[in-house]
Chains A and B, each alone.
Chain A
């Protein structure tokens, strides 16, 4: 009998693609012969918009990249401008950045974890992680006034100090969150159906991970110990005691599992940072109109999805000449096509979910 492959468009309007993302699948029965990711549906031209804004005015746009962890996006950009201008950030501001950054990381990993459970077919897990993410959003709302697009970082520090009501809230959260992680482990990780669907599926070898420049939990899932916070500590990360969880098989399960372990470590960092939180100013002395000297600077941070970098070129005017963002989701997506080959359609969803992309960041 003569058979032929056929083409299936997965997305851009499909809940499993986590946003407006399309994969063109060439299928032999249910098996993927070729997968071609088509990003770009959410392109807003943030890099171009930045050229028509002052340096400070770019910050709200960075929120709109990885809106699951807006604080971390702010951070990458302000770090680059601070590097360009040689601004020394006050210590208290650095600690505040670490605290809100790690809380953001937890919020982002909560979505990744819950949405992944939903992708595999267990929507209950999704509701549990969202319940706890609300607590984080409440805290970040107390601090910055917004729940997702914070615009809280400023070049040279942060916008406002912690309000008094934040401290009891975060204390309560630190106390209860480990038991929440246990709940996810019990509800999702330990579930046999979930394990069968994810273990040994979509294996990324360490060599491929490095060759494709993958980063974040996707890289560490393959057992490569590279976390910016440890490898090249920025800000005050060298002062905290935490571990970098690693996977051993590089499969979907490892990538998923690492995120839960990372949340536990992030919580440790928040706890330590709150203990060590020094007194002092939260803003460096910066001029009202920022005019960095002509030149360029590149700064990187470890965001929840991987290495987030910002490259800023200045021509000495109050507006950036060129801004470029290295978005980890986009680069991690580069391997998706190869990764899906040979797997069934249902596995494509499992693989895509395990990479944890957010389209705001992929398309920028």
Chain B
């Protein structure tokens, strides 16, 4: 009979009318993203050693970092991601073996203006000469202490 298929289709759509909704009202209700979700980036400043592995892994040169020496340590001055070029491939996060760079589950990164898209994760002033001196002094003191301790241990060893 012609029209049987049409009626079958109507049966299906009408059947769904009385079932539970499968959509959510977006801005009021949000779906939880899975733990691995590639959302906005997060950087743990204290863990980052400014090695630049993440920037090297990136196919699109998204990550720009500036670093400086503080004593013997490298510290980050600036960590800017040009998100407009980002592919969200996750290579940078994979490359970071200090677990400093991570994805969060933040999905709304859209902006009205292009220059606002840029994601600045770290932006701090360069250390002042005093700070550098302090760090160097601290390191020197530490080294001296270590040396003294080693000498002491050696002396002890010779005694015993």
Contacts and interface: CB of A to CB of B under 8 A. Distances in A.
Interface in B68-104: 87-91, 94, 103
A149 B87 contact: yes
Given A145-B90, A149-B88, A183-B12, A191 B5 contact: yes
A138 interface: yes
Nearest to B37: A145
A190 B12 CA distance: 12
Contacts of B9: 124, 186-188, 190-191
A194 B8 CA distance: 13
B87 A60 contact: yes
Nearest to A154: B94
A186 B87 contact: no
A108 interface: no
B103 A145 contact: yes
Contacts of A45: none
A188 B5 CA distance: 9
A59 interface: yes
Contacts of A143: 36
B36 A57 contact: no
Interface in B42-64: 57-59
Given A143-B36, A145-B34, A145-B38, A186 B88 contact: no
Interface in A196-252: none
Q: SS class of chain A's interface: helix, strand, loop or mixed?
A: helix
A58 B89 CA distance: 11
A193 B3 CA distance: 9
B6 interface: yes
Contacts of A160: 36
A163 B34 CA distance: 10
Nearest to B33: A141
Contacts of B33: 141
A95 B37 CA distance: 23
A131 B38 CA distance: 22
B6 A191 contact: yes
A149 B4 CA distance: 41
Contacts of B37: 141, 145
Contacts of A159: 90, 94
Interface of B: 2-6, 8-9, 11-13, 22, 33-38, 57-59, 87-91, 94, 103
Interface of A: 53, 56-61, 63, 124, 131, 138, 141-146, 149, 151, 159-160, 163, 165, 183, 186-188, 190-195
